[in-house]
Structure 1
């Protein structure tokens, strides 16, 4: 790295791949604790939902939000989405 922020050093494809990898990892973790049908897209929809108004946060916050996502928070989001009829 040449002194710029990680977002400046990564192109869009690399950033997208990194986020996908993190979401896939979190989905695997949730499957290990009994949530069989969780996908990386479900994880991303849950995490990114709170960014709708403020926009995408800095990379360190995004990584933290994905990796610290709790199963209960995820299930609350999915339940509310189901009641609203959202199809992510």
Structure 2
């Protein structure tokens, strides 16, 4: 199956898998209770104004997310009174 044959659900599943992988990595380095949704909220937060980027950039943003960037996002969200869900 080529990439052009994947439907939206397949893309969503792939992105979910990447976010879960990053969440598992963050848990391994000591950040408890991180979910794939938390990772997605952090990564997608910067897309609010410009929209979702091309797939290669999205994948890079998820896989290159650093624990410090994730914690900065959580801190800023808490200070703004945002929910994480």
If the length of structure 2 is used for normalisation, what is the TM-score? 0.93
Q: Report how many aligned residue pairs link the two structures.
A: 83
1:81 aligns with 2:77: yes
Aligned with 1:42 (options 35, 38, 43): 38
| Distance (whole Å) between structure 1 residues aligned to residue 38 and residue 12 of structure 2 | 15
The one-character-per-residue Cα deviations of 1:21-79 (angstroms, maximum 9, x if unpaired) are 00000000000000011110000000000000110001010000000000000000000
Q: Which runs of 5+ in 1 are unaligned?
A: none
Stretches (4+) displaced over 2 A: none
If the length of structure 1 is used for normalisation, what is the TM-score? 0.90
Q: What RMSD in Å do the two structures reach over aligned CA positions?
A: 0.9
